Each structure stands twice: as structure tokens, then as C-alpha cells.
Amino acid sequence: MSAFRWGRGASGLRRALWPAGPPGPLAEEGALSGVWGRRRSLSASPCEQDRRKDWGHAELLEVLEARVRQLQAARVSEVTERRPRPARLPEAGGFQPRRKAQKGGEGTAPGLGGHWAQKLDQEKWAMQRRKQRLQAKLQVRVQQLACEHRLRMVPQLLSAPLAERLLRWEQETPRSPWEEQLARLLREAPRRLSCEAERAHEAGGAPARLETQQQRLLAFLECCLLSGHLPLAHHVLVTCHGKWRQRRVLTLAAYNTVMLGWARKGSFRELVYVFFMVKDAGLTPDLLSYAAALQCMGRLDQDARTVQRCLDQMAQDGLRLQDLFSSVPLCQEEQAALLQAVHKAQPTFSPPLQPQPEPQVNTSPLLREIYAKEGPVSYPKLHLPLWKLQTLFQQQLRVEMATTVTVQSVEKAQLLTKEVLDARRTLKQLRTAWVEALCAGLRDVKASEARAARSGRPTLFPYLCLLTERELARLLLQTLQVLPPQGESLLSLAQQLGLRVFNRHAVQKKQLSQVQALQQRYYQYLHLLASDTQVAVPCLPRQYWETLGAPEAPHEQPWPLPVLVQLGKRLAEMLVEVVRMPGSLAAPQGSCSLIPVLYHVYSFRSFRQIGILKPHPAFTQLLATAAEHTLTFEAAEVPMLCPPLPWTSPHTGAFLLSPTKLVRSVEGTTQHQRLLDSCPPAELHGALDALTQLGNCAWRVNGRVLDLVLELFAAKGCPRLGVPAPPSEAPRPPEGRLPPDASPAQKAELRRELARCLKVAREMHSLRSDALYRLSLAQHLRHRVFWLPHNMDFRGRTYPCPPHFNHLGSDLARALLEFAQGRPLGPRGLDWLKVHLVNLTGLKKREPLQARLVFADEVMEDILDSADRPMTGRKWWMEVEEPWQALACCMEIARAVRAPNPAAYISHFPVHQDGSCNGLQHYAALGRDSIGAASVNLLPSDVPQDVYSGVAAQVEVFRSQDAKRGVRVAQVLEGFISRKVVKQTVMTVVYGVTRYGGRLQIERRLRELSDFPQEFVWEASHYLVRQVFNSLQEMFSGTRAIQHWLTESARLIAHAGSAVEWVTPLGIPIIQPYHRDSKVMISGGIQSLTFSHSGDTSQRPNTLKQKNGFPPNFIHSLDSSHMMLTALHCYRKGLTFVSVHDCFWTHAADVEVMNQVCREQFVRLHSQPILHNLSRFLMKRFCSGSRSPQHLKGMRTGKLQDTLKSVPKTGAFDLKQVKHSTYFFS
């Protein structure tokens, strides 16, 4: 092989393989290049560029030398011309010293032995030496890589005694048994490295960042075991252990993971190697470590003496043998192997029976009645028999095992013209080819990642092996299918793809181990819910589920956010690199060569440049032409077909197999989960049971409303009624071009118009897609019963898990849903339907209930006309505030009044009761503020009070006083101060809106007034926001004092370096996830991704967000507590209950009972010393002893203590009056 060809080959080999040792900047860049495989860029790495320079310089010198010879020959006739020849590397094995030039020898000319010629000759030999050294280095590197490709099993120990012992044992002939070696290790248990390991751990940087690195390595090792690559996991563990800097990311859990892997295989030698590393790291084996050793002994049928020595050492370490079977999460087969080993040494030992866990009782005084065993209970049952619920369980199980759901789209079907059929045929052919191309590409990437992992660093290799190549290819094509025409940010797409891979892996893992046990347990659980079965003792769903078996298997730990993004990014790049289509699809007369379907472009969003993956317009047009009539959803995005699993822990509940978080949060935020895990389980029972109760409500689709909506949706929509128009109705940009002599102002105006059209088109596409998903799912579930599992945010506010079709949406979304289980209207149900209809119109908000009933009877003809002829009649329903819900209510009233006996009519319609500015209600109750309480209907009254009108009236008083004093803006505002102008500011001031934000809100309202002089908008908005705040101070003096106390407390806590924490009255621990942004960078590939993460607890708190967020978040935690208490007590009374935050829903017949429960629980909640409890908690958490942050000293601590102790004084309002307030919720 020529030198040149060898150099190219070695260069290619070097690019294909990873460098050894801790990577420096260049090695890191090379490593990332290796991870991402093929690149669109043709630029070489720095090392490659250096080598190319070397060869280029050599060839250049040869050419220059030849030119010198020619010049010499031209000037001196006796010079013999030499032909240039390629440079040769010396033969391997020796370096030939340069011969000295001989005077008058070949190639020299008299008079031309000048300095420049000698220098040229020296450079030639220097280049030859450099090439020789390069060849030697490449040969050494190839040898190193060849060695590295042999996975390392024997660890490199840093403890000299341990290393010497391992070496001596390896060299013994014959060797002492591995079992003997393990016994010595367990017995001696060196601790000499513990202090050094601790110092290395402390030097490793921020705890949260180190924890992320540890989680990343642990996830890699676990995935290696799951994908059958245990030797690779051991190799990476050995490599990290042998490097001092990397050892700090190794935890006992990492060592135990690999130990368990070898134990399952019965590989005792490798297991002992891991024990050597555990002792070398200064760690003490725990129960899981001993379980691995004993399990391995059981599989190898070791003698009793060996097992007994292991058990003796475990006892000396203070570990109990019984705990191996009760506290260590092992499967049944692993426990059998463990028991076999124990029986060798202790034949009479029997594992402890799984004791029925002692039921833990929540001690909150607010929940005492809920968990009291005495007293009457009437828990509701579903309307479906046992066999039907079991059938529904099987259907839901199949859906989740398939991981996706395909539904028919409600878009108007295209005529099957030749063009449509050709487009569909083309798409089918392309997708078949794309699957094969993606599978081939994934194989190449996995091979590259596997080579990279052999350098001893965690890579993406095991994650890519968790799903088959075809499953990953189908997942990628599903992502491509739903990509919007304007594209999606690479970061968002990467995170979504990473999460989907994790979720599908979690589902597959549960399929292998939990499905049969889940089915048996769920079938028993259904006896509590089915209409035709009874249980011995009525109890809550969670309580009954816990009595049916042992606790669930350990949950799947989520992968660290950088892993999710890196994995998703690599998969997204696969789409860009591999998925191609013929160029003729883009240009009929164009080339048939393949062009990318996806393009990576950059765009500015909010003054930031972000990378976007955008589909080729030809592909978007092909999809539009094919007009395929199906949509694909993830299983967890669709309502459930059977009752959800009861929430029993922060990790278990909701879907059967799909992983679901109890607390929804930004991906990568872990502080909420840590708080929940450290919380005593009984403290969460109130929240868990409330979420379970909300999820157990069965729903069905309102078919008549759906038909009308679909009719409008197919007929180009109706934005006035909330039915979005298709993108074809978007405004078109101006036709034609500007003349060459157009002014800059004209050009700017055209750019603004183009930007406006583009913005409107994007908004219309987004709204249309959202409506398409909702309506398609509604049509899919049209004749079915379904359930909406719930979880909560960090404040305790509850939300349905399925995002596209639920009762939390707009007026249209709510109108599509009704209870699957009906209840007779009873004597008062029809009246409540009428009151509810009038509430939906928004026409009689300040009228008493009796006046609303009279109004409903007055417009009964319009109600019946709307029900009978919604699209052709008088269309009264279209003019109200909530038209679709009003129409659904009109239809329900029409059916009821036409029934032979309205009281016996079975109604499925949900009736709502809303709080009156619920945030201010909680503030008024906290401060016992009589004036504020009267304004928000905490006091009984004959007519409902309207706080917004009250504030407007108070502002008008201030305005008239200022106008008399000659204030110009007050005079201009005469006649313009209304409820609408101040409503938004009053509503949001409770949740922390600033004067600046309030001014913008008022400015928008003033600009909507056509007769208001626009030149005074700025001045008038400043004036009004000041007066609104003054009015609120006048009317809600206690509210402003409490807000100020909360804000100042949070400011001082955050300034001291801690995030604000508290516990809700129901026991939910809360921490505010507002920290200074930490930057996470994932480099390499088509784009280096840098994203901000505000949930990184290693960063200092964001003081501004902490102090501004505390008041509204604290109030939200109170309104969620009130809702959960109401839900639990309604469930105990047998009511159907759901909520949309401070809007409570139930059957018409049960509205009065729900209202009574709602008022009682509000009084009970605020009868607790909430602010004083909060003060005590904050004092204990931030100002006491060792729990106080180290930097809280001296005056700062004193100021915080003084602030926390100065709880605002309360007024004289009597809370018991709320029980008699008709309009508290109405």
C-alpha cells in the first residue's frame, strides 16, 4: 500500500474509532462527531485537517523541488535533470538518517548551492521525518484501539493494597477460589478511600449537576442490562472506576446494577471484580449488593460454608437476612435463586410472609371525616356491570400495548380522483422505502455508537437497542407525518422524540413482567366499581386497591433530560439524513435525483435564532393532495376506555401501562419528585384519593352537538362560534410587486402586511389542527363510555391527562361532553337546568336565582326553538356568552320539559357552579375582611354581589373627587369607567399582576372604546391602574396586607439562596421551581443545541419570580385544597363530581347538596390557622438550626425571622356566615 493510501486509510480508521483517555477539547469534538455518524457537512475535524496539510505540504515540496531542478537545468548545462517522484515513507521499523549532501553530486549545480536550496532540502527531510512519526503514531493508535475493543473485565484499582491483592490472586497457581476472594473482601471492608472519595465528590461541582451525571450513567448501565449488553456496562464501569475524575459519578447503585446483571447470569468472577471496585471506592455493600452475591451463589449451587460466610458478614454489617426478601425489589425467579443459596447454609430458613401493610392513616383534621370508619357512607358505583368493565379493560390494555391509536379524521373526505390515488400510492411507496432506509441508517448509527461506547463513555447505543429498528422507524415517520408546514424547533422535536422512546420502552418493560398480575388485580378491583357486585366493607378505591396485593414493582426512573434531548436529536437528524424523495415531486421537469424531505433552517423567534426542521413544500403538498383520512395519537393522549388505576403513590396511577407523573412539570425538573418521595405516604392520601375520584367519572359524547359542530367544521368553519376556519380562508398577501421607485415606507408597510398574513395563517393552522384533533377523537369515542385520568401541577391544581379532548377546554370542548351515568332530575333538577342556562348566557349575573328562573320561562320559546332548529330557527343561542354549552343545555331542557314526568327524566347533563372571583374569596377569608367578604359573596345577601362592579364604583368615586379638583384626565374619563374596563385587572391582581401589567390591560380596554379620545389612552391607563389598586386597598385592606407579607417573605428567602417551600392544608409539599437559568449544551450534529433549564436546583433561586409567584401560587394551593375536600365529601355522599379549578360540576339533581358541601368545606378549610401554620413552617424550614442555609447569618436571619413572625392581623368577619351564602358558588 502506498504511503498516501495508508494515510487516508488510517485517517478513516481514526475517524471511525474513538480516542482513549479523558477527552480534551479536541477529543471531545471528535467524540461528538463519532456519536452523530454521517454528516451533511463536508468539513473535516481539526486532526484530519492537520494530516491533510502534512500530505499536501509534502506534495507541494516535491513540485517545488522539481521546478528548482528545471531552473538549474536551464542555467547549467552539466546538471542532470531528475524527474519528480512521489515521496515514500521509510520502511517500518527504522528511521534512516539524512545523508549529507556531497559537493558536485547528482542534483547539484556549480554556483547554485545557495542557502535557499539547502533550506528546501532540509524541509524535505523534515517533512519525511514528520510523516514517519505520523505513521508510527497511527500504528500505535491502531494497536491501542484494537486493545480497547476488547472489553475490559479486570478493574484498575486505586487502593494499593487492594490492587496488590488482586494482582497476587491473578498470578497465583493454582488460583484460590473466587468465593474465598469475595469472603475476604466482605470481611476486611477497607475504608481508606472514603475521605478521598468524599473530597472528590465535593470537588465534582454542584450537587444537582453531579446527580444528573450519576443518573445519566446509571440509566446507561440499566439500559445496557435491558438490551443484553452487560459486558459493555461492566467495561464502562471499569473504565470510569479507573479514572479519578470520573469516579465521582459512580454510586453504589451503579455498582449494584452491574452486580445484579452478573448475578442473573451466574458469573461469579465478574461479580467479584465489581466487589473489588466497591471496596476500592470506599463504599459499604448494602442489601442489594448482598442479594446479588447470594443470588449468584444460588445459581452456581455453592457450598454451605461460602454462603454462611457471606451471611455472617452481612450480619456484622447490621443487615438482616429477612430484609433481603421484604425490602429488596427482586422478581420471583431471582428470589428463588436467593432462597436456594440461603437454604444451603440455613435449611430451616423460610422467607417472611409478605405482611399486609399496616394501613397508614392521614392525621389531617380536615380529612378526619373522610377516613373515619364510623358514620354513613354512600360511595357511588358505575352504571356498568362487571363483565362489561372487564371487556373495557381488555380493550384499553390492547390500546396501551400497541402504544398508538389510529382514528378517522373528520376533515371533509376528498373525491378519489386519479390525482388523489396517485398521491396516496406515491406516499405508500415512499414510506416503504423510508422504513428500510431508516432501519439501515439506525444499524449504522448503532454500530458507530457501540464503537464509541468501547472507549468507556456512556453513549446512546443501549437506548437505541431498547426498541427494534422498525419500531423506531415507524415512530420517526409518525413524527414526520404531523410536522406542521412551518416546521418545528429542533429542540422541541428532540425532546418529544426522546420522551416517546422512553414511554414505549417503559410500556414494553411492563408488558414483559406485569400484565398478568395487573389483570388479576384489576379484575378484583372492579368488584368495588361494577353495578352488579358488592364488597364486604365499603371503602375508597385506593384503599381497596392496596388490600388486593403487595405494593407495585419499582417504577421506571425517567432518563435525564440531556439524554432525552440527545437521543431525540440524533433520531431527528436521522430523518434529515435518510428520508428523501425524488426531485421530480418538487419540479415536474426537474431531476429524478433524491432530495431531502426535511430541511434544517434557522429562524428568529422572540429575538432569538433557533434551528427548525421544516418539511419540503413538495412533501406538504403531497400530503395535502393525498388527503389521508387517519390521525395517529399516542395511547396516553387519548381518554381511557376503562376506569383508571387509582393513584396509590407519586409513581403509580392513571393509565394501565403508560407512565404518568403525579405532578406535571417541565421535563428535567426533579425537586417536586424528591419532595413527594420524601413525604410520608399518608400525607398524600387526600390528594391521591381526590385525583382518583375525579378520574373515575365516566363520560360520553354529546352526539347532537357534535353533529352540528362537524357540519360547520366541514363548511369552512365559523370563528364567531369557536369553529376554526381552514387555512384556505387565511388572508392572502398583496398581489404584485412594488414599483422600483417605491419609498422605504411603502416597502416597510408591505413587509408588515406579509408578516401579518403569515402570523394569521400560522394561528389559523394551529387552531384548526387543535379542533381537528378534538373533533376526530370525539367522533372516535362517539358511542363509547370513556374516562379522563387526572394529575396535578406543583401547586395541587388538577388537570385531565389526555390533552386534546377533555372538559378543561373552550366552550365548544365542554359542550361536547356529558356524564355517561344519568340521574333523575328530581323535584328541583329542572329549575337548576334553567338557572344554569341563564348563567351561560351572561345576561342576569346580578339577578337573584328566582329572577333567573323567571327569565328562563320568559324565553322558553327561544330555548325550544334553539333545541329544535339550531341552524335554521331564530338562533337565540348564538348570541350568548357560551353559545355551544347554552345550545346543549337548551336541548336538555327541551327533552326534560317534554318528558311525561320531568322529575323522572334521566339527565346526563353537567350543571356548573362558579366561585365569585375565587382568589379574592380566599384572601378575604384569610384576612377575615368583612368589606371584602361582602364584595365576593362570602356574606349572605338577597342578590349576588359583583366585585368588579364594586371596584368600578369605587374608582368612579375617586375619579369624581379628582375631577372636582381639576385633574384633567379624571375629567376626560367621565362616563368611561365601567365593569368591563376594570374586570381583568381586578381578577388578576389577586394572582400577582403588577401595576405595569395592569396598565397594559386597561389600555387595551380603553382602545376598544370607539368614542374615547385616543390621545389620552396612555395617561388615562396610568391613572386608572393607580385608582384600581387604591380601590382594592380600600375594599380589601386585609388582602393587600397578606399579599405584601407573602411577597416580602419570599423575597428574603430567595435572597438568602433558597426556593420557597410550603405544605398545603391537605399535606401536599410544594416548592417553587424558579431558579436562575442553567445552560445545557448538546453539541455536534447538524446543530448544537443549547437550552435553558430553570428547574436546576444547583442554581440560585430567581428572586423576582420567587417573590412574584408566591402569593398567587399560595392561593392556588388553597383553592385546590378546597376543591379536593369538596370532591372527597361529594364522593362520600354518592355524588358525581368533577371540576375545572374553581368551577364545580355535578348532576342537576345534586346541585344543592354539592353547594352545601362546597360551603362547609370552605369554612372548615379557613377555620385552620393557615397563615400561622405557614409562618411556623417557614421559620422551621429556613431559620432553625442545621436546616437553615449556611449563608443565612446575623442581620439577614433576624430580618427574615421578624418578617415571618409578623403575620398580618385579621379582621372580625365570621366565617360561619359563608354556610348561608347562596351566591358563594352559583
Active site residues: 914, 983, 1142
Angle, vertex CA 882, rays to CA 877 and CA 888, nearest 5: 60
Query: Measuring CA to CA, which residue among 1038, 1045, 1046, 1047 is closest to residue 933?
Result: 1038
Return phi, psi of residue 775, to 5°. -70, -35
Residues 294 and 338 sit within 8 Å (Cβ to Cβ)? yes
- Closest CA relative to residue 93, chosen from 51, 141, 145, 132: 132
Q: How far apart are CA 886 and CA 841, in angstroms?
A: 7
Identify which of 151, 149, 126 has the alpha carbon closest to the alpha carbon of residue 57. 126
CB 1020 within 8 A of CB 981: no
Taking the C-alpha atoms of residue 370 and residue 1132, their distance in angstroms, rounded to an integer, is 7
For residue 1196, with 0-12 CB atoms within 10 Å meaning exposed, 13-18 middle and 19 or more buried, which class applies? middle
The amino acid at residue 784 is: R
For residue 895, give the C-alpha cell.
327533552
Residues whose CB is less than 8 angstroms from the CB of residue 929 and which lie 6 or more positions away in sequence, other chains included: 923, 1036, 1037, 1038, 1039, 1211, 1213
Which phi and psi (to 5°) does residue 21 adopt?
A: 85, 170
Helix (H) or strand (E) run with residue 610 in it: strand 608-615
Alpha helix segments (H runs only) across 1010-1149 = 1017-1035, 1037-1055, 1103-1132
Are 216 and 565 spatial neighbours (Cβ–Cβ below 8 Å)?
no
CA separation for the pair 1154, 1147 (Å, rounded): 9
> CA 853 to CA 360: how far, in whole Å?
48
Residues 6+ apart with CB under 8 A from 513: 331, 553
Contacts of 1057-1062 with C-beta under 8 Å, sequence gap 24+, read 1057/1100, 1057/1101, 1057/1189, 1057/1191, 1057/1192, 1058/1101, 1058/1182, 1058/1189, 1059/671, 1059/1097, 1059/1101, 1059/1106, 1060/1101, 1060/1106, 1060/1110, 1061/675, 1061/1177, 1061/1181, 1062/1114, 1062/1117, 1062/1174, 1062/1177, 1062/1178
- Residue listed under C-alpha cell 527504522: 94
As a whole number of angstroms, the distance between CA 438 and CA 597 comes to 13
d(CA 890, CA 879): 14
Q: Is the dihedral of CA 251, 255, 258, 260 positive or negative?
A: negative
How far, in Å, CA of 1124 to CA of 1132, rounded? 12
Helix (H, G, I), strand (E, B) or coil at 119: helix
With cell 405595569, the residue in question is 996
> Measured between alpha carbons, how far is residue 125 from residues 95, 96, 120, 374 in Å?
12, 10, 9, 100
- Residue type for position 65: E
Quickly tell me which residue has 442479594 as its cell: 291
How long a stretch of residues is the chain?
1226
Rg (CA), the chain: 37
List all residues 6 or more positions away from 395 whose beta carbon is below 8 Å from its beta carbon. Answer: 641, 642
